[in-house]
Amino acid sequence: MRIEQVRPDSIADHVGLVPGDRLIRINQARVRDSLDYRFWSSEDVLELDILQANGNRVLIDVEKDPDEDLGLSLHEPPYQACANKCVFCFIHQNPKGMRKAVYFQDEDVRLTFLYGNYVTLAFASDAYLDRIIVQRLSPIYVSVHATDPELRRMLLGAPKAKDVMPILRRLADGGILIETQIVLCPGLNDGPALRKTVDDLAELYPAVESISIVPVGLTSHRQGLYHLEPVTVDYARRMIDTVGAWQEELRERLGHPLVYLSDEWYLMSSTPFPPPSFYEDCPVVENGVGMVTQFETEMDQQTRSLPDRSDEPFRTTLVTAELAQDVVRTSLVEPLNRVEDVEAKLVVAENTFFGPGITVSGLLTGRDILHALKDEEVGDRVYLPPNVLNDDGLLLDDMNLPGLSKQLGVPVALFPGHVRDLPGLGGANER
């Protein structure tokens, strides 16, 4: 791997490494990416195989504390692309004209370990699985969808995909924790097929820590794609009842509910969520399971400390998508409006970019937000859900907060982590 930066006064700096050198091996183990580097450099005695920028090949011995970093920033090779053609793939449903990165389908263990991205392991080699086990890349997030081999191949659009259960057993036997996911497509992998999938995965508990079931998302851009039925309100309510019974069975048998429905099921069907205690041991709350309950709990705690009156008059507009509007209104907007001199308005943005079937805030575009606010008196500032931006500060249509602010004529920001961080609510006149 090519060295891009060397931290001043680091071990790498002291032994003479410079940008442009290449790290070939550590202790004779090949360094292919950042995970290799992190794993192999964690020893206290290292032999670095370096190809210097001038073409010389040298070996450098290093002694250090096991957790001490060498101080290198390395050029990360491209991520592995997905070879599947899933019938429900959301990326295949993107409209044309978006930035190239939006269309990239990843299937890379680096992203699952570092960021919780799901992989199918449909074509994972023995060496690939061995690496996961040897380097303790745990937990790993696996898109299962179905354990019946033929059904899974159909769902993945991959006739040569490997049977997932032997792969999961191998990882489990190797001590790897596994978070699994099922994208549920009505009429395809539900009914007896879903029950089989849950039962098969439950056999691998406690290595399989969770089974998340999410409803298929359908945009308005499915021309030429496999026909899929949408999840209806009645279907969602039946699924909640069915999975609720399974959760009780599994809790009695395993001491753990194991299977979790994503928040969309409860929101779209206006069904009450399980109590907060249900999610206490859930390992995938950050992946769309239990996040609403977590938000409600946090907002309840935060809004209890709001002052009776704001330090300064403040009018604001909060934007959300259709699915979460009732939660945001009840947990945040209404408590804010009980504070004297605060006027908070909620505006629900329809997703005109992907279509009315997409109702989550994380897929709103700048265009959707501007359209929703065009005839609104937005007040002093507009706040957006934190998940509308990527790491580069861009919405899905490449708009950013300064661009939105310019068009709206008021500051636009992401909602802060605490209600007391809003203007005028910093602690005056405590209850």
The least confident of 66-70, 170-174, 335-339, 368-372 is: 66-70
Residues 6+ apart with CB under 8 A from 204: 168, 169, 172, 178
Residue 245 has pLDDT above 90, yes or no: yes
Q: Give pLDDT, residue 239.
A: 98
Residue 115 has pLDDT above 70, yes or no: yes
Q: In the chain, pLDDT over 90 holds for what percent of residues?
A: 91
Average pLDDT for residues 119-129, to the nearest whole number? 97
As given in the structure block, the two tokens for residue 15 are 């032994």
In 321-400, where does DSSP find H-type helix?
A: 325-328, 334-337, 366-373
- pLDDT-based confidence at residue 9 (cuts at 50, 70, 90): very high
The least confident of 87-96, 150-159, 335-344, 421-430 is: 421-430
Domains of the chain in start order, with CATH, are 3-74 (2.30.42.10), 91-289 (3.80.30.10), 297-421 (3.40.50)
Q: Give pLDDT, residue 429.
A: 41
Q: In the chain, pLDDT over 70 holds for what percent of residues?
A: 99
Mean pLDDT of the chain: 94
- pLDDT tens-digit profile of 139-186? 999 999 999 999 999 999 999 999 999 999 999 999 999 999 999 999
Q: Give pLDDT, residue 104.
A: 86
Residues 129 and 137 sit within 8 Å (Cβ to Cβ): no
Residue/partner pairs of 278-287 with CB below 8 Å, 24 or more apart: 281/256, 282/210, 283/139, 283/177, 283/179, 283/209, 283/210, 284/179, 284/210, 284/212, 284/260, 286/116, 287/116, 287/141, 287/179, 287/181, 287/212
Residue 371 has pLDDT above 90, yes or no: yes
Average pLDDT for residues 358-368, to the nearest whole number? 94
- pLDDT-based confidence at residue 244 (cuts at 50, 70, 90): very high
Higher pLDDT, 96 or 269: 269
Average pLDDT for residues 356-380, to the nearest whole number? 94
Residue 391 has pLDDT above 90, yes or no: no
3-state secondary structure string across 241-268: HHHHHHHHHHHHHHCCCCEEECHHHHHH
Q: How far apart are CA 226 and CA 222, in angstroms?
A: 8
CA 49 and chain centroid, separation? 36
280: left (phi over 0), alpha (psi -120 to 50) or beta: alpha
- pLDDT-based confidence at residue 86 (cuts at 50, 70, 90): very high
pTM of the model: 0.90
In 58-190, where does DSSP find H-type helix?
A: 109-115, 126-134, 149-156, 164-173
Residues 6+ apart with CB under 8 A from 96: none
Of 164, 180, 173, 2, nearest in space to 75 by CA = 2
Q: Give pLDDT, residue 428.
A: 40
Residue 305 has pLDDT above 70, yes or no: yes
Q: Give pLDDT, residue 431.
A: 38
- pLDDT tens-digit profile of 179-209? 999 999 999 999 999 999 999 999 999 999 9
- pLDDT-based confidence at residue 101 (cuts at 50, 70, 90): confident
Q: Give pLDDT, residue 336.
A: 96
Residue 52 has pLDDT above 60, yes or no: yes
The sheet with strand 45-51 has its strands ordered as 29-30, 22-26, 45-51, 57-63
- pLDDT tens-digit profile of 259-276? 999 999 999 999 999 999
- pLDDT-based confidence at residue 300 (cuts at 50, 70, 90): very high
Average pLDDT for residues 62-75, to the nearest whole number? 93
